Amino acid sequence: MLPFNRPALIVVLALVAAIFGLRQWGSSQPEEIRKSRILMDTVVEITVFGSASIPLQESVDAAFKEIERIEALTSFFQEKSDLSRLKGAGSMEVSPETAAIIATGLEVAAASGGAFDMTLGKLKDVWQIEGDHPRLPQPEEIKEALAGSGFGALVLEGGRVVRSSPETSIDLGGIAKGYAIDRAIEVLKKAGVEHAAVNAGGDIRLLGDRRGQPWRIAIQHPRQQNGFLGRLLIQGVALVTSGDYERFFEKDGIRYHHLFDPRTGYPATASQSVTVLADTAVVADALATAAFVLGPQEGIALLKKFPGSEGMIVGADGKPAYTPGFGKLIEWQSN
């Protein structure tokens, strides 16, 4: 004997109630704020989750302000930046932030045998790949642009930056963005935020998890615009992907991109893309550029020198090489 007169009706009504209940439960999840701004020549997106007791909106605004502040210190184009002031000085005391960026950069430069190079300002000027009019310079121009660059051309003595030659032109494009998003995460942490993601054009730093689950990060396929190489389920780390598909122009069927090999002055040819995981975005950013230049074999060897770092390098032939730890984390995608 069933306890209801209308059991089927009750089952259907219960089903409807469950669906609406689930929707209501979904809407009562912790508050999420997601804001985007164009900073450091890219779209910076900050996502935070938290309870109403945390001033999420103000925290996100403060994090953007911090990124703006770092940009103002490290931009090649802002008059009062440390870099602009350095153009006219052989040596100069810089802000602690700029000094910290350069110190990390020099560490990666040394470990990579100069594959990461912060003295390619002149070279980037002649190529203009990130400008409005990219061009293929003459070999003499490239040779000239490499004068005053290279490992040893830039030295840090405490908080003082020393250029070895008046021709040394510093460019922090391959590392400052990583530092800026690390700083943004610190600002969020200080405000009490425990779950956040700061994504600056694909350079990502994660704080905590996402609604109790790891963040799901897809990795761009270097040759398929809408395709992925795979997906990582991670939390509380930094992840940077760099590739020859980001900024480039083509001439006579050859792709000229923005990641230069300091040894030749031409875009590096050993890799299609690199993804690096590290504790901080500043380290991941510099390592990604260096590993791209070095290519799969030497690049993986470089990553192994930095404890806590993992990564994958897609070689010029399209084949991925990766560290053992990265291999355990990635879910490959069949495109």
Residues that bind another protein (CB under 8 A): 2, 5-9, 12-13, 15-16, 19, 34-38, 42-43, 45, 197, 199, 201-204, 210, 215-220, 226-228, 231, 239-241, 243, 246-247, 275
CB atoms within 10 A of CB 334: 6
Min dist. Cβ of residue 156 to another protein (A): 30
Establish how many alpha carbons lie within 13 A of residue 287's alpha carbon, considering only the half-sphere containing its beta carbon. Answer: 30
Nearer to another protein, 38 or 52 (CB): 38
Min dist. Cβ of residue 190 to another protein (A): 23
Min dist. Cβ of residue 161 to another protein (A): 30
Q: Which two tokens stand for residue 31?
A: 């508050």
Min dist. Cβ of residue 323 to another protein (A): 16
Q: Cα(86)–Cα(92) distance, rounded to whole angstroms?
A: 7
CB atoms within 10 A of CB 159: 15
Nearer to another protein, 97 or 246 (CB): 246
Nearer to another protein, 47 or 74 (CB): 47
Q: Which two tokens stand for residue 171?
A: 């460019």
Nearer to another protein, 182 or 246 (CB): 246
Min dist. Cβ of residue 207 to another protein (A): 13
Q: What are phi and psi of 271, to 5 degrees?
A: -135, 160
Nearer to another protein, 13 or 254 (CB): 13
Any idea what the Cα angle at residue 276 is, between residues 309 and 201, rounded to 5°? 140
* 8 A C-beta contact, residue 291 and residue 311: yes
Q: Cα(69)–Cα(74) distance, rounded to whole angstroms?
A: 9
Question: Starting at the edge strand that comes first in sequence, how are the strands of the sheet with 195-200 ordered?
Answer: 31-39, 42-50, 195-200, 203-207, 238-243, 271-278, 310-315, 320-322
Nearer to another protein, 169 or 242 (CB): 242
Min dist. Cβ of residue 106 to another protein (A): 26
Nearer to another protein, 42 or 95 (CB): 42
Min dist. Cβ of residue 192 to another protein (A): 22
Nearer to another protein, 161 or 200 (CB): 200
Could you write out the DSSP letters of every residue in 239-285? Answer: EEEEETTSSEEEETTEEEES-B-TTTSSB--SEEEEEEEESSHHHHH
Q: Which two tokens stand for residue 25?
A: 């439960």
Min dist. Cβ of residue 244 to another protein (A): 12
